[in-house]
Amino acid sequence: MNEVKKTKYLNPYIGGILLGLVLLSANFISGRGLGASGALKSVVVSTANTVAPSHTENATFYKDYNASHKSPMKSWLVFEVLGVLVGGFLSGTFAKRLKFKVEHSPKISSKRRLIFAVIGGVLFGFGSQLGRGCTSGSALSGMAVLSLGGFITMAFIFGTAFALAYFFRKNWI
């Protein structure tokens, strides 16, 4: 008989409790919540400082950021994101789930999936700068400290996803 080997994942309720404990620890230890978009900003600023230093000296965005951050790559957010990447890689390796492939619906190609992923990532990155933080920073961390802005952010993230899901569902199902 062929037995289907079921992949075992962490119980989502336990995962949610653990995420809450990590968020609580971050607030307690560092005095602020979690977030990832700040790490990307640090990488962009560091790259611009290296590649085009004269541009960063004249542009207000870079000037302000460099004045408030001695060394952008030493931001704790950079180390947080590196830890998430390394942790995810190790978790996938130890659970024997690490695969380098593009997962997508059989109805679309890998190329289309990657194009939509890049477009979505760029739009989300742009939106996180307009909203002063990503989902983790604005919504989760904001809600954890009972910020009205955090609840509004989360409502709009899920509301927008729900409203647009009909138009994009054929790319995933």
Q: How many CB atoms lie within 10 A of CB 137?
A: 22
Do 122 and 83 lie in a common domain?
A: no
Query: Cα dihedral sign for 87, 90, 94, 96?
Result: positive
Q: How many CB atoms lie within 10 A of CB 50?
A: 9
Judge contact between 22 and 9, C-beta under 8 A.
no
Do 88 and 73 lie in a common domain?
A: yes
Read off the pLDDT of residues 81-94 as tens digits, 9 standing for 90 and up.
899 899 989 988 98
Mean per-residue pLDDT over the chain, rounded: 84
Do 89 and 122 lie in a common domain?
A: no
Tell me, yes or no, whether 96 lies in a domain: yes
Helices (H), 69-147: 76-94, 110-130, 141-144
Do 115 and 76 lie in a common domain?
A: no
Tell me, yes or no, whether 164 lies in a domain: yes
Do 14 and 89 lie in a common domain?
A: yes
Instruction: Tell me the pLDDT band of 118, cut-offs 50, 70 and 90.
Output: very high
Helices (H), the chain: 12-30, 37-51, 53-58, 60-68, 76-94, 110-130, 141-144, 148-168
Tell me, yes or no, whether 94 lies in a domain: yes
Tell me, yes or no, whether 1 lies in a domain: no
Q: How far is residue 56's CA from residue 65's CA, in Å, rounded to a whole number?
A: 10
Contacts of 41 (CB under 8 A, 6+ apart): 65, 72, 129
Average of per-residue pLDDT across 41-56:
89
Q: How far is residue 101's CA from residue 143's CA, in Å, rounded to a whole number?
A: 35
Q: How far is residue 5's CA from residue 62's CA, in Å, rounded to a whole number?
A: 52
Q: Which pLDDT score is estimated for 157? A: 86
Residue 32 region by backbone torsions, left for phi larger than 0, else alpha for psi between -120 and 50, else beta: beta
Domain span at residue 59 reads: 10-100
CA atoms within 13 A on the CB side of 152: 4
Tell me, yes or no, whether 83 lies in a domain: yes
Residue tagged 């002063």 (tokens) = 132
Instruction: Tell me the pLDDT band of 58, cut-offs 50, 70 and 90.
Output: confident
Do 74 and 146 lie in a common domain?
A: no
Least confident of 1-15, 19-33, 142-156: 1-15
Do 18 and 82 lie in a common domain?
A: yes
Residue 157 region by backbone torsions, left for phi larger than 0, else alpha for psi between -120 and 50, else beta: alpha
* The one-letter amino acid at 137: G
Do 26 and 96 lie in a common domain?
A: yes
Do 91 and 146 lie in a common domain?
A: no
Do 93 and 36 lie in a common domain?
A: yes
Q: Which pLDDT score is estimated for 87? A: 92
The number of folded domains in the chain is 2
Do 96 and 119 lie in a common domain?
A: no
